[in-house]
Amino acid sequence: MKRISLLLVMLLAAFGWIITSCGSGPQKQTQEAETVVQDEAEAPVMTDEMAIMMARGEQIYKEKCLACHQANGHGLPNAFPTLVGSDFLLNQTVMAVSQVLNGSEKVPSPKTIKYPAPMPPQADTKEDAVAVINYVLNNFGNDGGYITLDDVAHIVIEPRDI
């Protein structure tokens, strides 16, 4: 009798082990699969060339634009316009590149506020102007797509006054 109950306990234990291992197996697999899918969805779809251009754009922004348009792109009230949701930037992007190259005295944006001082020319090459505009088009909450060098081929870089 003692032997039988011992056998029964062992059987129950073995059964319990089988049940738990079977139960956790597939669940674990599903979790892993979900993590993989999430990683793929977050990966930016960007070529190396674009990634290099965006890094250059960020560098130019920090060196040249941040002082006026601020670290978050919001500018300063009545002094420097916000770039976040800017109609001029998002919908007249070629003109925005032109403004970065030639300044807002030569390429004014249709503005409702009169700013105390114009925006001086910022970039010396179209490559730099396109890189920084692509950076601001896709940062600070903007989702403005991309502009290419071909799009701005017709822009003439004006001689600087200084």
CB of 55 to ligand HEC, least distance (A): 15
138 close to 132: Cβ distance less than 8 angstroms: no
Cα angle 84, 88, 93 (rounded to 5 degrees) comes to 100
- Per-residue interface string for the shown chain with ligand HEC, residues 70-99, x marking contact by CB under 6 A: ----------xx-x--x-xx------x--x
119 close to 99: Cβ distance less than 8 angstroms: yes
- Measure the CA–CA gap between 162 and 123, rounded to whole angstroms: 14
CB-nearer residue toward ligand HEC: 50 or 84: 84
CB of 46 to ligand HEC, least distance (A): 20
Residues near 128 by beta carbon (within 8 Å), at least 6 away in sequence: 56, 60
CB-nearer residue toward ligand HEC: 50 or 105: 105
The only residue of 18, 55, 67, 76 in contact with ligand HEC, by rule CB under 6 A: 67
115 close to 125: Cβ distance less than 8 angstroms: no
Q: Which of residues 45-64 bind ligand HEC (CB under 6 A)?
A: 60, 64
Question: How many Å separate Cα 111 from the centre of its chain?
Answer: 26
Q: Which residues bind ligand HEC (CB under 6 A)?
A: 60, 64-65, 67-69, 80-81, 83, 86, 88-89, 96, 99-100, 104, 108-109, 111, 115, 117-120, 122-123, 132, 136
